[in-house]
Amino acid sequence: MNLAPYHPSKDDLQGAGDYDAPRGKDNVWLVVRAAVKVQSKENEDWKVIKKLFHVDAHFNEGQMVKEMTLRFDFHCHSTASDGALSPTELVARAAGAGVEYLALTDHDTLAGWPEAHKAAVDLGVQLIPGIEISVQWESRELHIVGLAFDPAHPAIVELVAYQQEARVNRAKKMGERLDKAACMTDAYRKASELSGQVAPGRPWFAQILVAEGKARNDQHAFNRFLKPGQSAFVKTPWLTVEQAVSALTEAGGVAVLAHPTRYGLTRKKLRTVLKDFTAAGGRGLESLTVGLNPNQKMLVEECLRDFDMLASGGSDFHTPRQTWLELGKVPPLSEMHTPVWQAFPTAYQPVATS
């Protein structure tokens, strides 16, 4: 896709209703967005444009055109954590879906980075370092997506080592508990073998439970054994918000609060989280995700504005079995948002807009 700034001619700006498709679909978007710039938001034409082209964002300047047409995804998982696709398969699928700018954000690990990086170079996808870190806030577990940090920075290496150790201990304990509670033998070893990981997460244990007939399906396994309050749930001593954010920041990256509407927090609680998160140096909010209801959308917009945060987004893709998700399927940025990549180091700025 040609991402050069579009300079509309006089003719282009006569009235949005007059536009047809002389330049192909992608360019029509640019024309339409350019046209909006010279018209008031109350203009009837704007409503027509919105309807015809599903434009969900206002347009500002040439720079903004490029940013808004950039196809990005800053939240997805590979087999290096709990995803179904290998890093290579994941990057290939992203490329196939038209993603130009990608972060692989496996849980508490960078194990998939070298392979994903190679695939991204081969396939012409711009890959930036990413990770999803589990943290503890009060008695809850929250997730922080780290983006565009130096993966070899000692603060990151230390962070990953700590989280991995916590995960290994948790997996071993979970296995012991399942051996008792579900009358299994060697649940840890089996989950470990199945996943190829020393720290298999709960989805792997769920699979074992189903395979051995201890649960009807994954959801049943979670409800019966694995979710908080059940016999095999093990609370993990994750890093605090402050520790995770400061490691990411020290390594030159940006900390983003992942899926803010998925923790079951009230508006008030979420605002308290964000107060602490931003005080610690967290700057991004994962506001661009599909599936938010109108109230959740409003809440996220309010938080972006009130806490002066950068908009990030991603699919949280784990497996092709989640047919409602796809890599790169992220709502568009609007001019009210500042994209998270504006805070990235130059080397990780989007190639298409630099």
Kindly state the smallest distance separating residue 221's Cβ from Zn ion, in Å.
20
Q: Kindly list the residues in this chain that would bind Zn ion in the complex (CB under 5 A).
A: 132, 316
> Which of helix, strand or coil describes residue 286?
strand
Q: Are 114 and 91 in contact (CB under 8 A)?
A: no
Q: Are 313 and 74 in contact (CB under 8 A)?
A: yes
Token readout for 168 is 């290994």
State which residue, 65 or 116, has the beta carbon closest to Zn ion: 116
> Can you give the C-alpha Rg of the chain in angstroms?
22
Kindly state the smallest distance separating residue 160's Cβ from Zn ion, in Å.
16
Kindly state the smallest distance separating residue 82's Cβ from Zn ion, in Å.
8
Token readout for 352 is 């298409």
Kindly state the smallest distance separating residue 254's Cβ from Zn ion, in Å.
16
State which residue, 79 or 353, has the beta carbon closest to Zn ion: 79
State which residue, 67 or 132, has the beta carbon closest to Zn ion: 132
State which residue, 76 or 352, has the beta carbon closest to Zn ion: 76
DSSP string, 77-127: --TTTT-SS-HHHHHHHHHHTT--EEE---BT--TTHHHHHHHHHHHT-EE
Kindly state the smallest distance separating residue 258's Cβ from Zn ion, in Å.
6
State which residue, 65 or 135, has the beta carbon closest to Zn ion: 135
Kindly state the smallest distance separating residue 314's Cβ from Zn ion, in Å.
8
State which residue, 67 or 316, has the beta carbon closest to Zn ion: 316
Kindly state the smallest distance separating residue 145's Cβ from Zn ion, in Å.
8
Distances (CA, A) of 263 to 80, 199, 226: 24, 23, 17
Beta strand 254-257 with 284-288 is: parallel
Find the helix or strand (DSSP H, E) in which 146 lies.
strand 140-147
Kindly state the smallest distance separating residue 317's Cβ from Zn ion, in Å.
9
State which residue, 100 or 316, has the beta carbon closest to Zn ion: 316
State which residue, 50 or 93, has the beta carbon closest to Zn ion: 93
Q: Are 286 and 144 in contact (CB under 8 A)?
A: no
Q: Which residues, listed in sequence order, are joined to residue 146 by a DSSP beta bridge?
A: 131, 255
> Which of helix, strand or coil describes residue 287?
strand
Beta strand 140-147 with 310-313 is: unpaired
C-beta pairs of 183-188 under 8 Å, 24+ apart in sequence: 183/214, 184/208, 184/209, 184/212, 184/214
